[in-house]
Amino acid sequence: MKHFRILGLAVLALFALSAFAAGMASAEEGVLPPSNFTVTGGTQTLTNLREETIVCKAVTGTGKFLTEKEKDQHATGTLDFTGCTASGFAANTLGDEKEVILAKVLYLICLTEPKTLLFGVLVLALENPVHIEVPIIKALILVKGYTIGSLETEKEAKGKVVAVLFNEKDKHATCEINGTLFTSTYLASIDSKEDVDAFQSGLVTVTFEKEVTFMDT
């Protein structure tokens, strides 16, 4: 059975949740007041340096902030990708419907450009790895890692609806949380021991239940 290891928004999974949890406990970036939200988006694409792709036609999701601590700006939720193909063949998470990829995820607010206070979102999955099958070619996709998207403009740092852009071509995205810099780690390999860089693209809309302000407190 072939193994396709790939990182990205279209297929998210966690590679080191415990390390992130330890570092994020006092994260200063976040939104106030914490508000539940929904996610919607069109086509999400991940392409590696071998030009192998995973494409999903749409994504929906939910998020709920953890508010036990005033500065705890983590949110948990789900992402539901539909119309998914891997290298042109229908793909789905094990046990789910055809062309459907499901993931439980953790969202972290971050700064993708600290100097201009351009905010973003770091997203990791809560399962490691996520198992995705491509039935027609009997391939198993093992997924791990995290992805980073930026608000389109600084002006979107306040309101109920914000657009988050995942736009990598030849450079991985970065963001800062509590003074620590994180770099997305998209890699991919198919039927090979060698991991290859991969890059994410896609636009999603995040709609909060009430108006929020992204803050660097």
Contact 119, 150 (CB under 8 A): yes
Please give the full DSSP string across 3-17, using - where no structure is assigned.
EEEE-STTS-B-S-H
pTM (2 d.p.):
0.84
Q: How many separate domains does the chain show?
A: 1
Of 164, 182, 157, residue with least CA distance to 39: 164
Rounded CA Rg of the chain: 16
142 phi and psi angles, rounded to 5 deg: -110, 125
Structural domain boundaries, residue 150: 2-216
What's the CA gap between 117 and 45, in Å, rounded?
Answer: 27
114 phi and psi angles, rounded to 5 deg: -60, -35
Q: What local confidence, expressed as pLDDT, does residue 187 receive?
A: 61
Of 24, 7, 11, 18, residue with least CA distance to 182: 24
Q: What local confidence, expressed as pLDDT, does residue 138 receive?
A: 86
Q: What local confidence, expressed as pLDDT, does residue 10 receive?
A: 36
| Tens digit of pLDDT at every position of the chain (217 positions) | 455 544 444 333 333 344 454 455 444 678 888 889 999 999 998 777 777 788 999 999 999 987 655 445 688 999 999 999 998 999 999 889 999 999 899 898 899 988 888 999 998 888 877 788 899 988 877 777 788 999 977 777 888 999 999 987 777 889 998 888 888 876 655 555 567 777 788 999 999 999 998 887 6
Angstrom CA distances, 105 to 9, 121, 196, stand at: 10, 12, 24
